[in-house]
């Protein structure tokens, strides 16, 4: 995440900071995989981990992060869009820069990041879906990784939506390669990308019920035959916790 090296942080330290201090606690997770209905077959049911989001960062962010933030905010102001209305918070964590964007302004922010000569984030390497059951009112997240080939920089955009209204604007018109990535996030997480040219399943059968990578998706499975035997679904196997 620096102009010279991507393997180490701007301070030369690639060791992650502990997540238990500060930030926003959204869940306390128990067991290896968070299973709490007898489906944890790992034997690590006694593990307890606090799931924490890093909080908003304050200036100065350090290095070129301030330059990118200043240029983005200035470019939005020139378009008569108040930066605080578009950028919900800016987070610097593990030497990475993330802008949390209000979903209604996502397309405008992405186009600005692509087209502004001082920013020039020409490439979006895809969108990842995330489902946080404990993040009430914003359970679904879409995470975009943007790369500036011109300036040799990488940033992240993150947008959230509630389970009850899983709509996020499509970025295919800004980054055409997002076409299949958005279909995959829709297929697995149920995120609906408004304006996508053909939002259909890409991995699961067309008539599949539900979205398999959501955290509330049943921990089950389809029985698999192996040399004439039946392998039980994961939630029916022996539990060690």
At 41, the pLDDT band (50, 70, 90 cuts) reads low
CA distance 209 to 62: 46
Residues of the chain with pLDDT > 90, as a percent, come to 61
pLDDT exceeds cutoff 70 at 1 = no
The predicted model gives 40-68 an average pLDDT of: 86
Q: To the nearest whole number, what is the mean pLDDT of the chain?
A: 85
Residues of the chain with pLDDT > 70, as a percent, come to 77
CA distance 128 to 33: 20
Structure tokens at 235: 């939630």
Asked if 103 contacts 161 with a C-beta cutoff of 8 angstroms, the reply is yes
How crowded is residue 166: how many other Cβ atoms within 10 Å of its Cβ? 19
At 39, the pLDDT band (50, 70, 90 cuts) reads low
Q: What is the pLDDT of residue 223?
A: 57
The predicted model gives 25-45 an average pLDDT of: 70
Q: What is the pLDDT of residue 229?
A: 67
Asked if 164 contacts 138 with a C-beta cutoff of 8 angstroms, the reply is no
Q: What is the pLDDT of residue 231?
A: 67
pLDDT exceeds cutoff 60 at 4 = no
How crowded is residue 220: how many other Cβ atoms within 10 Å of its Cβ? 12
Asked if 234 contacts 221 with a C-beta cutoff of 8 angstroms, the reply is yes
Asked if 98 contacts 85 with a C-beta cutoff of 8 angstroms, the reply is no
At 47, the pLDDT band (50, 70, 90 cuts) reads confident
Instruction: Output the CA torsion 87→119→131→10 (10° steps).
Output: -100
At 154, the pLDDT band (50, 70, 90 cuts) reads very high
Q: Which residue has the higher pLDDT, 215 or 238?
A: 215
The predicted model gives 3-18 an average pLDDT of: 42
pLDDT exceeds cutoff 90 at 26 = no
CA distance 192 to 187: 9
Chain CA centroid to CA 172, Å: 17
Q: How many residues comprise the chain? A: 241
Chain CA centroid to CA 40, Å: 25
């Amino acid at each position: 995440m620096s102009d010279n090296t991507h393997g180490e942080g701007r301070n030369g330290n690639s060791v992650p900071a502990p997540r238990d201090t500060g930030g926003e606690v959204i869940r306390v997770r128990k067991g290896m995989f968070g299973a709490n209905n007898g489906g944890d077959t790992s034997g690590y049911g006694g593990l307890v981990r606090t799931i924490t989001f890093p909080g908003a960062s304050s200036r100065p962010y350090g290095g070129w992060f301030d330059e990118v933030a200043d240029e983005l905010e200035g470019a939005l102001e020139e378009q008569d869009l108040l930066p605080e209305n578009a950028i919900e918070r800016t987070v610097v964590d593990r030497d990475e820069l993330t802008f949390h964007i209000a979903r209604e302004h996502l397309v405008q922010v992405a186009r600005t990041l692509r087209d502004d000569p001082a920013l020039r984030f020409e490439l979006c390497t895809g969108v990842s879906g995330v489902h946080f059951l404990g993040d009430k009112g914003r359970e679904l997240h879409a995470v975009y990784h943007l790369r500036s080939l011109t300036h040799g920089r990488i940033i992240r955009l993150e947008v959230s939506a509630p389970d009850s209204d899983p709509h996020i604007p499509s970025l295919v018109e800004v980054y055409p390669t997002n076409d299949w990535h958005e279909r995959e996030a829709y297929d697995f997480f149920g995120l609906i990308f408004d304006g996508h040219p053909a939002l259909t399943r890409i991995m699961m059968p067309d008539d599949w019920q539900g979205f398999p990578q959501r955290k509330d998706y049943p921990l089950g499975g389809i029985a698999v035959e192996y040399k004439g035997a039946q392998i039980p679904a994961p939630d029916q196997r022996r539990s060690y916790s």
